[in-house]
Amino acid sequence: MRTFALLLLAAAVVASPAVFAKGKAKHHHAKVDPAVAAEHMDKNEASYRFVRDALPLALPSWSLPIYFSMVKDKKS
């Protein structure tokens, strides 16, 4: 019974951020300025390009020829 109670408590602790996040999302009705949205999109695009270009650094050496054969160079 004690184990069940601890598992139930652990599940409640893990699920609590999701419950509170849903509550905040419902009450957010503010209009977004298009200039601010464009600025955030630019930051997201820059982050995406950084991760995309840094991927070969994280790949094992045996997979690099496969990766570079799949990715075409945009300069050519």
Summarize pLDDT for 16-71 with one digit per residue, the tens.
766 566 555 555 556 777 777 777 787 788 888 888 788 778 888 888 888 788 87
Q: What 8-state DSSP symbol labels residue 71?
A: S
Asked if residue 63 belongs to a domain, the reply is: yes
- Whether this prediction's pTM lies above 0.75 is answered by no
Asked if residue 16 belongs to a domain, the reply is: yes
The Cα 44–Cα 40 span in angstroms is 6
Give the range of the structural domain holding residue 50, as residue numbers without chain letter: 2-70
Asked if residue 20 belongs to a domain, the reply is: yes
Asked if residue 76 belongs to a domain, the reply is: no
Confidence (pLDDT) at 55: 78
Confidence (pLDDT) at 36: 79
Number of domains observed in the structure of the chain: 1
Confidence of residue 75 (pLDDT cuts 50, 70, 90): low
Asked if residue 75 belongs to a domain, the reply is: no
